[in-house]
A and B are shown apart, each in its own frame.
Chain A
Amino acid sequence: MIGFIVKRFAQAVFVVIAVSLIVAVAIRMTGDPALMIAQGATNITQADLDRIREGLGLNQPFLVQYLDSLRGLVTWDLGNSFVGGTPVNLLVDKALPATLSLAFASMFVSIVVSIPLGIRAAVARGRGSDQLIRIFSLLGLSFPNFWLATMLVLLFSITLRWLPPSGMSGFASFIMPAATMGVILTATNVRLVRTTMLETLNSQYIMVARAKGLSERKVLYKHALRNCAIPLITYFGLQFGALLGGIVVIERVFNWPGMGTLAFDAVAARDYPVLQSVIMILSLLIVGINLLVDIAYGIVDPRIRTK
């Protein structure tokens, strides 16, 4: 197991290096930041541009710049935003918790809802409740998230005036964004849980568990669910990555002060230190989550652990 974790960790480090290199190169291909800073200002001289470049460290060779950005990441000194000169780490310090809490909240909602529903559908395969659950999941899949978000705002904020339409201010403000993302995640997850569960329920050991006289609850939630865990964890891990990407839209609609909003504004303002940091941090998060997923395999499945 230790060897397994060490190997996975080494792989993750390699991925991080590759990702950070790609980000650094890609950002530099979008144009000269000095020109971006200088744009709008009149009678800029070559000397002014050089000064800006020197200030940003852009006159250094690429490798030095790249290592500097890595060091910045480690020391949490991410440079200053082009817009207003705020240190990027302060922006991220605020935005990252907002995004993570939203992402985890919606993941949590979707897992807690989809597992019992998926199991229920699998057990009642082909019968009424299965049909109903599948119809709802299809509906959930068919909503575009921005549309669903807008409808929720119209209903709960404008008409009923129950929930705040935007911003992050206490628990009430969490409900709609988390629900929007949760609905779409749940719709896919229910189907996934149902399919893996159906396969597991056909196994001989489920029959054996029932023949022992165990209650249906124990059979399903202890014996079957643990065996479904591998495909589920894999998928939840991948989903979390996709979720961090897709969160931009939701954050825009609800004006959520998270990484998505930060990235969106940074793109609009060509605020490249902010953009680079956001992309790097999100990538690191995704790599980290996948590492956790790999370790979770070993915990859940002894066949991997004891190999």
Chain B
Amino acid sequence: MNKQGLTPILHIDELSVSFGNSPVIKDLSFDVFPGRTTAVVGESGSGKSVMSMSIMRLADMAGARFPSGRILFSSGAGEGVDLLKCDQEAMRRIRGKEIAMIFQEPMTSLNPVFTIGDQLCEVLILHEKRSRAEAMVEAERLLVLVRLPDAKALLARYPHQLSGGMRQRVMIAMALACRPKLLIADEPTTALDVTVQAEILNIMKDLQAELGMAMIFITHDMGVVAEMADDVVVMWQGEKVEAGAVEEIFSCPRHPYTRMLLAAVPKLGAMQGFTHPRRTPLTVLRNGELVKEGDDRQQDTADYTVPPLLRVEDLSIHFDVKKSFWGRTTHRNFAVSRVGFEIYPGETLALVGESGSGKSTIGRTIQQLQESANGEVWFDGKPMSKMKLAERQRLRREVQYIFQDPFASLDPRRTVGDSIAEPILTHGLLDRGAPTRRRVGELLERVGLSADMASRYPHEFSGGQRQRVCIARALASKPRLIIADEALSALDVSVQAQVINLFMDLQREEGLSYLFISHDMAVVEKMSHRVAVLYLGQIMEIGKRTDVFERTAHPYTQRLLSAVPLADPSARRQRVALTGEIPSSIHPVNAPPALNPLREIASGHFVAQERV
């Protein structure tokens, strides 16, 4: 195959991969060209990671077999080598030198017990036979290349002293150390904040142009695809369903699955002109046909005529992080500083911000999982600090929490029925036995599962189903407020769309209020009545969704919005230049961070004095 006169550097030809007797990839073919980026898109279980592991032949270690196909890799002129025919010895000379890889989890990709310098030098010493001193000089240059400040000092530091974004840059430096011909990036920015993601993507693009290497970019995020890719391969259940240039894929997707995927992506700005949260129909694939499911409606569930259900006033939360030798606290993490907001019955308030902004800490405090240093939380007109034990217990029942990771938040050794029944029994809402069983069945049906699933264990469910189980568990105690802490972040986009609709249906039918904690601006735009933007433990901007998104007043909100990749390759733009990492919220005890008082610029729209 020839494209614009280029010969492919990697030619995958009818590749099949299986583990044991189960085929994971079937007859996959595509090409990767030098200097170009091929995005491989698909949801969990599509086989995209296995594909990258197979190119590296790292899948062997997990027990993969390759019943058929070829992976031709040509590093120089002439015929390429078939990587599937190489032994591990030969592969070791290619790995890290000719083909390098970046992984999803920057927090766990670096070995915690070796310095950054050691880990960078290792590749250089191994493949380029440099001396340690030479390698160190080169390592420093590489760190500068990925725009890490203070590179020399960084060489002697350990991974745990670096933030996620910094670690991912170190990973990129490590992958690029030997100037590979092909870089495989497996969801390299999925675990990062949007602003950090934007910066990492910029770095990757610039370095690719500089080194002229080919890139395979694996992702599930259509926004990132639109931003990065030249060519796109869409994978579904182990097969390629569509491939083409990025503009083609986005402007006229042919395969129904691609169309479904694109339809499910929440688009920032899609809510312009709507005053209330809008439930949109789901596009689902049924027998190879696209079908729209559910109704399209705006829902005005919030009731502002009554007093707020929850009022948070002047809330501050600290963690002591450093003590002197004598045990006196010297440094404190000022996680949340004087935050205040209300949530009305039937209202969704979104709390947005990046990691370290204190958004989850606020949620945990309302759920009484965390002590506050100062301030008051009022629920149903009653201050929490004055509540008696029984009232606090009642509060625990009426406020429920849904966590990010549906895999970790269900007990793997109990049936989901038991997990859902637990809050019912703990709060003594129903009798043990038949009444509880009936209620559990109802709850499962309420969240779109079936009653007979109660006897199954969490591992028998997919990620989306598990999150539904978690929602059923949260509904079990008939709460009035649900705190959803990044409850959609771990889900595939198509599943995410389903769960968003579930949240909105429940709100309409049960009059629930939500505190929706998220970093995903597009989802927030779709779901929320009001939005609070949090930065370093303080509210920067709070107001109606239409105000915050369409009449954005604070530069930090602006920055968050501009960092979101748009799922539209024609809208690629030069991003707002971002200035490095978010500063730390840890300060000496006697020098707490400065407070930025809020100013009301329009009715109900408050903005902090500028600082960022």
Binding site for B on A (CB under 8 A): 3, 203-205, 207-216, 223, 226-227, 229, 300-303, 306
Contacts and interface: CB of A to CB of B under 8 A. Distances in A.
A227 B115 CA distance: 13
B373 interface: no
B94 A205 contact: no
Nearest to B322: A307
Interface residues of B, number: 33
B108 A211 contact: no
A227 B113 contact: yes
A208 B103 contact: yes
B123 A213 contact: yes
A37 to B, nearest CB: 50
Given A302-B158, A302-B160, A303-B158, A211 B113 contact: no
A203 B108 CA distance: 7
Contacts of B112: 205, 227, 301-303
A302 B101 CA distance: 26
B109 interface: yes
B420 to A, nearest CB: 31
A223 B114 CA distance: 9
A306 B122 CA distance: 23
Contacts of B105: 204
Nearest to B106: A204
B395 to A, nearest CB: 36
Contacts of B115: 302
Query: Which 10 interchain pairs have the tightest Cβ spacing?
Result: A213-B96, A213-B95, A212-B96, A204-B108, A302-B158, A205-B111, A211-B101, A213-B92, A226-B113, A204-B109
A220 B100 CA distance: 20
Nearest to B98: A213
Given A205-B112, A306-B161, A213 B94 contact: yes
A212 B58 contact: no
Given A208-B103, A213-B97, A301 B113 contact: yes
Interface in B80-119: 88, 91-97, 100-101, 103, 105, 108-115
A213 B93 contact: yes
A211 B56 contact: yes
A86 B333 CA distance: 63
Contacts of A210: 58, 61, 95
Given A302-B113, A302-B160, A212 B61 contact: no
21 contacts: A204-B103, A205-B112, A207-B58, A207-B103, A208-B171, A210-B61, A212-B174, A213-B93, A213-B94, A213-B96, A213-B97, A215-B92, A216-B88, A226-B111, A226-B114, A301-B112, A302-B115, A302-B160, A303-B158, A303-B160, A306-B160
Contacts of A229: 113
B126 interface: yes
A205 B108 contact: yes
A213 B127 contact: yes
Nearest to B110: A205
Given A205-B109, A216-B88, A303-B160, 18 more contacts: A204-B103, A205-B112, A208-B109, A208-B111, A208-B171, A210-B61, A211-B58, A211-B103, A212-B96, A213-B95, A213-B123, A223-B111, A226-B113, A226-B114, A301-B113, A302-B112, A302-B113, A302-B158
Given A204-B109, A205-B112, A303-B112, A211 B100 contact: yes
Interface in B40-97: 56, 58, 61, 88, 91-97
A212 B113 contact: no
A213 B92 CA distance: 4
Nearest to B97: A213
A300 B92 contact: no
A229 B114 CA distance: 13
Nearest to B104: A204
A218 to B, nearest CB: 8
B111 A211 contact: no
A32 B512 CA distance: 78
A211 B95 CA distance: 6
Contacts of B160: 302-303, 306
Contacts of A208: 101, 103, 109-111, 171, 174
A287 to B, nearest CB: 23
A189 B174 CA distance: 35
Contacts of B103: 204, 207-208, 211
Contact of A212 (B88, B95, B158, B325): B95
B113 A300 contact: yes
B109 to A, nearest CB: 5
A275 B126 CA distance: 58
A215 B110 CA distance: 17
A197 to B, nearest CB: 14
Nearest to A208: B109
B126 A212 contact: yes
Contacts of A215: 92
B109 A212 contact: no
A229 B111 CA distance: 13
Nearest to B108: A204
A211 B186 CA distance: 12
Contacts of B122: 212, 214
A219 to B, nearest CB: 10
Nearest to B171: A208
A208 to B, nearest CB: 5
Nearest to A302: B158
Nearest to B105: A204
A216 to B, nearest CB: 8
B126 A213 contact: yes
Given A207-B58, A207-B103, A301-B113, A214 B158 contact: no
Contacts of A209: 111
Contacts of B127: 213
Nearest to B113: A226
Interface string B157-172: 0101100000000010
Contacts of A205: 108-112
A250 to B, nearest CB: 36
A295 to B, nearest CB: 16
A176 to B, nearest CB: 38
A74 B92 CA distance: 58
A272 to B, nearest CB: 42
Which of B96, B100, B115 counts the most chain A CB atoms within 10 A?
A: B96
A227 B111 CA distance: 8
Nearest to A300: B113
B504 to A, nearest CB: 36
Contacts of B96: 211-214
B429 to A, nearest CB: 40
A208 B111 CA distance: 9
Contact of A214 (B61, B110, B126, B161): B126
A207 B58 CA distance: 8
A90 to B, nearest CB: 43
A305 to B, nearest CB: 9
Nearest to A201: B61
A205 B160 CA distance: 13
Which of B61, B161, B325 counts the most chain A CB atoms within 10 A?
A: B61
Contacts of B94: 213
A302 B112 CA distance: 8
Which of A3, A204, A216, A303 counts the most chain B CB atoms within 10 A?
A: A204
Contacts of A213: 91-97, 123, 126-127
Contacts of A306: 158, 160-161
